[in-house]
Amino acid sequence: MPRSGADAQPDSRGCCGSCGNYLTSAKFLLYVGHALSTWGDRMWHFAVSVFLVELYGNSLLLTAVYGLVVAGSVLLLGAIIGDWVDKNPRLKVAQTSLIVQNACVILCGILLMMVFLFKTELVALYQGWLLTLCYILVITIANIANLASTATAITIQRDWVVVVAGESRSRLADMNATIRRIDQLTNILAPMAVGQIMTFGSPVIGCGFISGWNLISMFVEYTLLWKVHQKTPALAHKASSKIEDSELKQLNSPKEGESKPNEGVKLIGKDVNVFEPQEEEVSCCSRMAEPLSTFRDGWVAYYNQPVFLAGLGLAFLYMTVLGFDCITTGYAYTQGLSGSTLSLLMGASAITGIMGTVAFTWLRRRVGLVRTGIISGIAQFVSLAFCVISVFMPGSPLDLSVSPFADISARLFESSPLPTMAPEAVVPETPFTTLMPLLANGSAFVNGTDPVTTLNPVSLVSVSLLFAGVIAARIGLWSFDLTVTQLLQENVIESERGIINGIQNSMNYLLDLLHFIMVILAPNPEAFGLLVLISVSFVAMGHLMYFRFAQKTLGSSVFRCCSREPKADADDSSPSDADVSNA
């Protein structure tokens, strides 16, 4: 019997209703808020480096100082930021960090506008010291904004996502993958958007646009956070700070007056009674030493985590020049790649990064979470083999007869200019433009005509293999990143979630800082091949650490990749992906 129109109407309403329910769900609102926050972050991080170069006469000094300050601050304050996230209510932490971050970016944008507009006057005042003070203020305020952004990332991506996903590990994996896809898209689109504004406008217009965007986005994100908190009642419940302090201190030496049975039971009443006398005896010296104690306890807690080796393995992947940062981009220019080619390569890397998030969810359902990390590591390492081969292929500037420290000694002791890649007789002197890579590749513009090939063109085989390996490795890299992220989410107790992820950020920044120091010690293109080999070695060590973690977790079943996880979310903790805490 055919259905009437009245009977079919509920189906259409049900379809629209389910779509409406999704668009108003806590998960979707969290995605929108993260997209707005990440878009503003990416615009600001791209623009502030360009602004600092523009202000200091096309020098990289201010940019280098800013990068050093940011890395050092997160390295030293990561544990303290994470501890603050743990000790305060979720909504308060998210909204406070949001306001501080956006307010600092707005203030920094206004200050940069003033400097750009009145730079000539500022140079004349107090022999230029007022302008120097403005530089210091810009770097300081921008660093505070980055610290607030770190707090936001910890509380939203490492804590809120876990609570919104509930008990479903599959839902948590899907949410992590979606958030990483948003990151990949904004990494490409946001710099392109603000770059166009700065190109067709001016730095002043760029500063004004970023400040205005953050002002509007701040109110929207604030409202979205409040709605997500209202739709997810579990976000209002959090472990008390007294219980958290006891858990952290149990990792160090216990007090003589505390019995171990009480620590194991973790009764709230007993914990409160034990720690109340300590609160009354807190002195001024103890308060001053509290940040140091938090720093120490955080690192001890991180070391004692069952997923310590997995987190350390992820941090080792940051010790690499094989990424689309300023170092690899600069090397590409010296090897003959144009700006348009590099933009296409960055777009390709974003696509492979998104493919990595898809591969993560697919692999996790079939082989389990821990084995997904092993497969992702193998995929990344195999892809990086192309980078190793590129070091020895035609066109590679590797020259072991050139000392990596030649440039440093020339600058510090001989005061002579840095050596160029080619003699002046081969490459004519031309102003630096986006067409300059053509000159380095063996072409020269003569009287505004088409490029004329010189006698000794540089082969593109080496640099092509290098970027082929870097782009292909993004699949394994982002799948591995998501694996370790979810392992931290699932196996770190709620009261330590902030401080452990703060330490993880500190470890990432530490290895990232070491990779910049490595480049400073060997900045010439002839030594870049050595940097590639060192980078691949650190990637291999990182994945070996993860394999050791997987072996301790899964035992002899680590190579059983044929087993599948049950489809039901309730059975996510299957034998194929055993609980790490039992390892």
pLDDT of residue 579: 46
What is the per-residue burial (b if ≥16 Cβ within 10 Å, else e) of 555-577?
eeeeeebeeebeeeeeebeeebb
Whole-number Å distance between alpha carbons of 396 and 63: 28
pLDDT of residue 356: 94
Where are the alpha helices (H) located in 201-303, listed in sequence order? 203-231, 241-250, 260-265, 268-280, 284-303
Would you state the structure tokens that stand for residue 366, as one six-digit string? 């079939």
Q: Is 1 exposed, middle or buried (0-12, 13-18, 19+ CB in 10 A)?
A: exposed
Contact 321, 342 (CB under 8 A): no
Q: Residue 451: helix, strand or coil by DSSP?
A: strand
pLDDT of residue 418: 41
Q: CA separation (Å) from 172 to 24, 160, 165?
A: 18, 11, 5
Which H or E run includes 443? strand 443-445
Contact 352, 181 (CB under 8 A): no
Contact 462, 337 (CB under 8 A): no
Whole-number Å distance between alpha carbons of 509 and 382: 25
Which H or E run includes 109? helix 90-117
pLDDT of residue 189: 86
Contact 340, 436 (CB under 8 A): no
Whole-number Å distance between alpha carbons of 71 and 146: 10
pLDDT of residue 575: 38
pLDDT of residue 182: 93
Nearest to 451 by CA among 472, 474, 428: 428
Phi then psi for residue 349, to 5 deg, are -65, -35
CB count, 10 Å around CB of 129?
Answer: 10
Q: Give 10-residue mean pLDDT values along the chain (583 residues).
A: 46 66 88 93 84 68 79 89 91 94 93 84 75 86 93 92 89 92 88 81 87 94 94 82 45 41 36 42 66 84 92 94 78 76 83 93 92 95 94 81 57 44 41 39 43 54 91 95 94 89 92 84 82 94 95 83 48 44 45
Q: CA separation (Å) from 491 to 99, 144, 305, 327, 494?
A: 30, 30, 8, 35, 9
Query: Residue 282: left if φ>0, alpha if ψ -120 to 50, beta else—which one?
Result: beta
Would you state the structure tokens that stand for residue 332, as one six-digit string? 């590409």
Contact 478, 360 (CB under 8 A): yes
Residue type, 575: P
Question: DSSP string of 149-174?
Answer: HHHHHHHIIIIIHHHHHTT-HHHHHH
Which H or E run includes 346? helix 339-367
Nearest to 150 by CA among 195, 97, 192, 103: 97
Would you state the structure tokens that stand for residue 373, as one six-digit string? 């990390």
Between CA 332 and CA 546, with CA 182 as vertex, the angle to 5 degrees is 75
Between CA 27 and CA 346, with CA 311 as vertex, the angle to 5 degrees is 65
* 505-509, Cβ contacts within 8 angstroms, sequence gap of 24 or more: 505/74, 505/78, 505/82, 505/150, 505/153, 505/154, 506/74, 506/75, 506/76, 506/78, 506/79, 507/302, 507/311, 507/312, 507/315, 508/314, 508/315, 508/318, 509/71, 509/74, 509/75, 509/78, 509/318
pLDDT of residue 563: 54
CB count, 10 Å around CB of 153?
Answer: 17
Whole-number Å distance between alpha carbons of 436 and 345: 18
